[in-house]
Amino acid sequence: MQERVTELEIKLAHMENTIDILDQTVITQQSQIDMLMLKLSILEKKLKAAGESQVAHEKDETPPPHY
């Protein structure tokens, strides 16, 4: 009986360790997601600030001289 209890305690210790590792992984991933969301937001703001492309539309361009 004591041997079974010891085995269960060992398994519990390993499971607690695994849970701690997984918890730390989730915390790290959430931090990375938050950072990426911030960078994405900054990029969106920069794109909106840049406005449309600096290249004029074909109809607005003056025709090139023909040789």
Give the pLDDT confidence of 52-65 residue by residue, as tens digits. Answer: 666 667 777 777 77
26 located within any domain: yes
- The reply to whether 51 falls in a domain is no
Structural domain count of the chain: 1
Domain contains 53: no
For residue 61, is it within any domain? Answer: no
CA 6/CA 15 separation, integer angstroms: 14
User: Could you report the per-residue pLDDT of 6-42, keeping only the tens digit for each?
Assistant: 999 999 999 999 999 999 999 999 999 999 999 999 9
Whether 59 is covered by a domain: the verdict is no
The parent domain of residue 29 ranges over: 2-46
Give the DSSP per-residue string, the chain: -HHHHHHHHHHHHHHHHHHHHHHHHHHHHHHHHHHHHHHHHHHHHHHHHH-S-SSPPGGGSPPPPP-
Residue 55 resides in a domain = no
* 60: in domain: no
In the predicted structure, residue 67 carries a pLDDT above the cut 60? no
